[in-house]
C-alpha cells in the first residue's frame, strides 16, 4: 500500500511544476512523442553544417509535442487534487465502511500520481529543446507558435493546470 502525506504530494507536485508544464495520452502517444522528437532532432543535426530553418509542418509537430507535455502536466495535477481530496475525506471520516472506500480511492490516486510524475520527469529532458525550437518557429511563422498562444488555444483541455 502506497501512502503519501499531503505535504509530500504537494512537494512532488511543485518540484515538477517548477520544471515543466503537461499530457494524458496513452502509451502509443508517448512513443509517438519520443519518435517524433528524435526525427526532428536528427533531421536538424544532419543538416547542422548548413543553415537550417524549420518548416511549418515541423513547427506544427513541435506544437503538438508541447501540448502533449502540457496535457501530461494537467493529468498529474488532476490526480494530485483527487488524491488530496480523498486523503482529507479519509482523515475526517469516522464510518469504517466509507473510510475503506476513501482509502481505495486515495491509493488509486497515489498510483496515478507516481505514474504521471515519472512520465513528466521523462519529458523534462526534451522540454527545453522543444521550447527552444518553438521560439525559432515563433520567429519564422509568427505568434501562433508562442507557448502562451498554444496554452490559450487549449485552455479547456488544460483546466487543472495553473500557469500563474
Eight-class DSSP state of 158: T
pLDDT tens-digit series, residues 66-97:
999 989 989 999 999 999 999 999 999 899 99
* Integer CA distances (angstroms), 116 to 12, 16, 24, in order: 11, 10, 8
Cα 121 to Cα 30: distance, rounded to the nearest angstrom: 13
**So where are the chain's domains?**
6-42+51-153
User: pTM, whole model, 2 decimals?
Assistant: 0.65
**Most confidently modeled range among 53-57, 112-116, 118-122, 130-134:** 112-116
Residue 22 clears pLDDT 50, i.e. is over it: no
**Angle 102-116-62 from CA coordinates, rounded to 5°:** 145
Amino acid at each position: 500500500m502506497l501512502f503519501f502525506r499531503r505535504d509530500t504530494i504537494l512537494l512532488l507536485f511543485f518540484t515538477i511544476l517548477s520544471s515543466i508544464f503537461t499530457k494524458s495520452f496513452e502509451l502509443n502517444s508517448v512513443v509517438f512523442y519520443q519518435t517524433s522528437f528524435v526525427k526532428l532532432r536528427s533531421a536538424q543535426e544532419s543538416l547542422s553544417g548548413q543553415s537550417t530553418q524549420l518548416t511549418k509542418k515541423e513547427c506544427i509537430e513541435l506544437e503538438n509535442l508541447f501540448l502533449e507535455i502540457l496535457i501530461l502536466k494537467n493529468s498529474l495535477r488532476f490526480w494530485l487534487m483527487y488524491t488530496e481530496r480523498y486523503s482529507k475525506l479519509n482523515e475526517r471520516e469516522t464510518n469504517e465502511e466509507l473510510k475503506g472506500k476513501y482509502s481505495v480511492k486515495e491509493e488509486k490516486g497515489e498510483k496515478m500520481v507516481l505514474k504521471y510524475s515519472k512520465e513528466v520527469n521523462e519529458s523534462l529532458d526534451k522540454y527545453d529543446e522543444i521550447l527552444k525550437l518553438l521560439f525559432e518557429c515563433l520567429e519564422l511563422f509568427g505568434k501562433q507558435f508562442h507557448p502562451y498562444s498554444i496554452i490559450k488555444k487549449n485552455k479547456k483541455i488544460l483546466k487543472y493546470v495553473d500557469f500563474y
